Amino acid sequence: MAPSNKPKSKPKQASKTRARKNKSGRNRPSKNPTATKPPCYLLDLPNEIFYHVLEQLTEEDKWNPTTLSSLCQTCKVALDLSQYDELDVVLENKKARKHFVQNLILAPAKNIKSLADAQVLLSLVSRFPGLKYLRVNLVECGSLAPHHWMDLLEYEMDNSAFSELRDCDLTLWHDKSYTPPLVDLLSAPQLVNLRLCGVDLRDFTAESIDNHSTCLADLVLADCQVEERSLSEFLAKPHGLKSILISGLTYDFSQTTYGHRAVEVEASTIQLVLRVLSREQQGLTELAIFFAEARLLEWEDRKGIVDFGQFKNLVEISVYGRRLRIPNAIWKPKNAFDRLPDTLERMMVDVESAGIDVSGLADAILGTELPGKGFPASLQELDFLAEQNHQRPFNKTDQETEDKMISGIARFMTNSDLNCLTYTQQHWHRGRFAARHELGWLRRLSATRKTVAEEGKASSSNATSYELEDETWE
């Protein structure tokens, strides 16, 4: 076949829209305006990027009329996106994250003024099904009325199963009368530790919960209002309460008491609580009591104010004394040792801004004032904790106080079955720019009984010899 004389066609010229390469081989941007990308608007971005942009704004930018506030007025989409909650964003990204939250602490800021903000905050109570620790502190709750907070808290707790909750701390207003939904907490199948502060227990009822059916083991009641019926019903719910701390209980917050009347109210309230507690929780092993008026344990006419002997299984007792109001006071809480249970093994005595008269206690307990009373043979450990200056060299008065303390320790160790006695002195001072007291130094005297083994005889735990160790930390 004869070759065709038709000239070969030239290759088509590349489109002008095709990107040209420069000498380095990289594409150069096209000069064709039709090839440019469409404009990108802020609301076209993914929500995560939009939230990241908002996080870069300062507080001033958020309230500036030319920035966020103007954006919120453009459309509903912008308004909804601008009012985002960072926690909501985190939880929406992965639905399973809410099951990972185990600890929650809620303490409203002072600037919360709207009911909506309070609702958003307290709604967290019911959002995490795996919650194990919950703490709610409503003492400083902004300008929102307390009853609004209580209504919201009750609603959220009613909608919470608390299937994993083990530890709860509720702190309310000490000068108000509000009862939180305690039935929801006591119904929690795994709740072991409960601390209530500023709670009104006088209207408590829980007919839906059987007595001795909950697993509550450790209880703290501080600055609460109580009366016998409701307190008895409340303390009857735990199956086996192990420890309880009592502090600042009263009948009515609205009745401010002073002087002799305050002392009477405190004494009768403590006796009421101990009476109900011994009746409903005989298995109690640890008991701690704060005395706002520490002198109740000193006065002769107040003997028997605390009857620890009505508890049959107590192993540890802690007594705290406050408000001595006497400079360089020495406290002798002999009434705390008047009636102790035969099962007691450890006892701790703590006083604020005072020393402890160890020698006077030895006279009262081992001497003539309480002959043969109040000091069971089962007691093995006795701890004294005082706030007392201990600056050497001693003057004459300080040396006499020191000698009496050493003598009192010796009497306790040689005339009782104690294995260990400690006396701890704390010296607190306020620094020049310190917001509160700071610990200056700590001194601890520890008396430990020695076991003397004679040749050919068994060791005796009642030997009179002991070792006294003196340690100081600054």
CA angle at residue 132 from 128 to 136, to 5 degrees?
Answer: 80
Classify residue 280: in a domain, yes or no.
no
Sign of CA dihedral 131, 135, 138, 141: negative
- What distance in Å separates the CA atoms of residue 471 and residue 469, rounded to the nearest whole number? 7
The strand pairing partners of 187, in sequence order, are: none
Give the residues across from 349 on adjacent strands: 319, 384
Tell me which of 30, 57, 84 is where a domain ends.
Answer: 84
Closest of 72, 77, 134, 147 to residue 101, by C-alpha: 134
Residue 290 lies in a domain: yes
Going by DSSP bridges, is the β-strand pair 438-449/420-429 parallel, antiparallel, or unpaired?
A: antiparallel
- Residue 257 resides in a domain: no
Going residue by residue through the chain (474 aa), what tens digit of pLDDT does each one get? Answer: 455 555 555 554 444 444 444 444 555 555 555 556 777 777 777 877 777 777 777 756 655 656 666 777 778 777 666 655 556 666 666 677 788 889 999 988 776 777 887 888 888 898 888 999 999 998 877 678 888 888 888 899 888 889 999 999 999 876 667 888 888 889 899 999 999 999 999 889 988 899 989 999 999 999 999 999 999 999 999 999 999 999 988 876 555 555 567 888 889 999 999 999 999 999 999 999 999 989 899 998 888 889 999 999 999 999 999 866 676 688 999 999 988 999 999 999 999 888 899 999 998 888 755 444 557 889 999 999 998 766 677 788 888 888 999 999 999 998 888 999 999 988 765 554 444 456 667 889 999 998 655 434 444 444 468 999 999 887
3-state secondary structure of 105: strand
| Residue 228 placed within a domain | no
Asked whether residue 193 is domain-assigned, the answer is no
Name the domain count of the chain: 2
3-state percent breakdown (helix, strand, coil) of the chain, nearest 5: 30, 20, 50
End position of a domain, from candidates 27, 53, 84: 84
Is 348 part of a structural domain of the chain? Answer: yes
269 belongs to a structural domain:
no
H or E stretch including 251? none
* Domain range enclosing 325: 285-474
**CB neighbour list of residue 126: distance below 8 Å, 6 or more residues apart:** 156, 157, 159, 160
Instruction: Give, as one character, the DSSP assignment of residue 125.
Output: G
3-class DSSP state for residue 272? Answer: helix
Burial class (CB in 10 A: 0-12, 13-18, 19+), 94: exposed
Is residue 357, in this structure, part of any structural domain at all?
A: yes
Which structure tokens are listed for 109? 């800021």
Domain final residue, candidates 28, 51, 84: 84
